[in-house]
Amino acid sequence: MKHVKTVILLMVFVSSFVFGHGGGKNVKLHVNPKWKQCSIQLDSALNQSAWRQFTREAGLVSYFRPLTDAKPMGKGKYEFSLLQWQSKFNDTDDAWNHTFVHPDSTHWLKENDRLPFPGLTFRFGVSEKMDLAAYWTSSPGANYGFFGAQVQYNLVQNWLNQWSASARLSFVSLYGPKDVDLSVYGFDVIASRDFTVYSKWLKVTPYVGLSSYVSDSHEKSSKLNLHDETAWGVQSMVGGVIAISKARLAAEYNISNISTFSVKLGIVF
């Protein structure tokens, strides 16, 4: 577990270096030095409108994105992957400023334009048409993480033209914070096509898809008395997978109220 957290921390550092440091912001942060990194803790200033916005936007930020195409893995095959999602939102909004605490008054939730969100995934082909996936992440030095699961079922497989279409169901849940429950449910429809570049060693598979999601939140803070919120929405996706022998490289861009860019490095057995 220590080595896993080290890998995730390294991914966060590299992402912050690549995308640069953000400029000054004009809100006052809530400080709690208990944690070394920004952590989830509700403030008494949080109102129902901001709580509703947090429910909607956090649902998109934490949505399960496996960065896979529509073709089934095949029975008995499995994949281990490192993922990183990077979502763009305004962390000075009350929805985010009043739901997070920080180690000091200058330690912002986002150091750049997007919040890096690393994680680990495991996928397994349970049949010729169905794949199962699991996801886990923990923010090093903070009080929160997420875990999730997903099932993908192949609807269309045209071996002659290399077209595929599949549907996915997913679930993600927040763990760690004492005063917040958050769960996200998703449904995806995705289509892709394989392009063989060199024999069986190198393939490129672009894909497109559409997702709908439902995000449920419940606050348990003694400082507040907010109603539970349920938010729903849609997002589109466009991405691609490069298969180099057993290695898998992928990138995906999601378009919605909050845009997300994601990358993946994995290996298939």
Render each residue's pLDDT in the chain as its tens digit; 269 residues: 554 444 444 444 444 433 333 345 789 999 999 999 999 999 999 999 999 999 999 999 999 999 999 999 999 999 999 999 999 999 999 999 999 999 999 999 988 889 988 999 999 999 999 999 999 999 889 999 999 999 999 999 998 789 999 999 999 999 999 999 999 999 999 999 999 999 889 999 999 999 999 999 999 999 999 999 999 999 999 999 999 999 999 999 999 999 999 999 999 99
Domain 2-268, CATH: 2.40.128
Q: What is the dihedral of CA 215, 100, 36, 66, to 10 degrees?
A: 20
Per the document, the length of the chain is 269
**pTM across the whole model:** 0.88
Q: How far is CA 155 from each of CA 8, 21, 29, 164, 204, rounded to the nearest angstrom? A: 34, 44, 48, 8, 21
For residues 268 and 133, give the distance between their C-alpha atoms in angstroms, rounded to a whole number: 13
Helix (H) or strand (E) segment spanning residue 15 = helix 2-19
Q: Which two tokens stand for residue 153?
A: 């079922």
**Kind of pairing, strands 195-198 and 229-244?**
unpaired
Q: Which two tokens stand for residue 210?
A: 């559409």
For residues 165 and 268, give the distance between their C-alpha atoms in angstroms, rounded to a whole number: 21
For residues 80 and 266, give the distance between their C-alpha atoms in angstroms, rounded to a whole number: 5
